[in-house]
């Protein structure tokens, strides 16, 4: 796992794009695991500060309880629809997975994977870029 600052240092331009997508809207989505292993989706607000990706949780909120039991999580930026006829301007969406670390007054994310999905400049292909600590930055284009 990697702190956000380490990812940011390794891939600054990619990190700026992903953070920009997360910062563009207040509300994001988080997936956690229930006690029985089933997924749980929750709304969340995140913050990038001092090289860390952080978020809070209300006392006894189900997502916080989930994370204290099993820290694995996935975060998804807000999703916006491409504008018809201007699909090439669609900023795409970002995803971050990793583990939550309880800081006592919230959580910080140890990053395992960062993804930016968007369209190519001609809006003819889906572009998936992803980074992991082990594999670095990779990219694939799909029809």
pLDDT tens-digit profile, the chain (143 residues): 799 999 999 999 999 999 999 999 999 999 999 999 999 999 999 999 999 999 999 888 999 999 999 999 999 999 999 999 999 999 999 999 999 999 999 999 999 999 999 999 999 999 999 999 999 999 999 99
Q: How far apart are CA 67 and CA 118, in angstroms?
A: 29
pLDDT attached to residue 91: 95
pLDDT of residue 60: 86
Write down the pTM of the prediction. Answer: 0.95
User: Are 69 and 35 within 8 A, CB to CB?
Assistant: yes
Which residue in 90, 80, 97 sits closest to 31, CA to CA?
97
Give the β-pairing of 72-76 and 126-132: unpaired
CATH number of 4-80+90-114: 2.30.110.10
Q: What pLDDT shows up at residue 92? A: 97
Look-up: residue for tokens 């809070």? 56
């Amino acid at each position: 796992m990697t702190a956000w600052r380490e990812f940011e240092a390794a891939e600054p331009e990619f990190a700026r794009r992903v953070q920009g997508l997360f910062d563009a809207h207040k509300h994001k989505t988080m997936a956690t695991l229930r006690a029985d292993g089933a997924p749980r989706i929750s709304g969340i607000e995140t913050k990038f500060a001092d090289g860390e990706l952080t978020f809070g949780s209300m006392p006894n909120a189900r997502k916080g309880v989930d994370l204290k039991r099993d820290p694995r999580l996935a975060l998804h930026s807000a999703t916006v629809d491409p504008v018809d006829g201007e699909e090439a301007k669609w900023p795409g969406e970002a995803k971050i997975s990793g583990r939550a670390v309880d800081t006592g007054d919230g959580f910080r994310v140890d990053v395992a994977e960062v993804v930016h999905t968007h369209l190519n400049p001609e809006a003819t292909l889906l572009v998936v870029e992803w980074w992991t600590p082990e594999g670095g930055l990779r990219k694939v284009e799909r029809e």
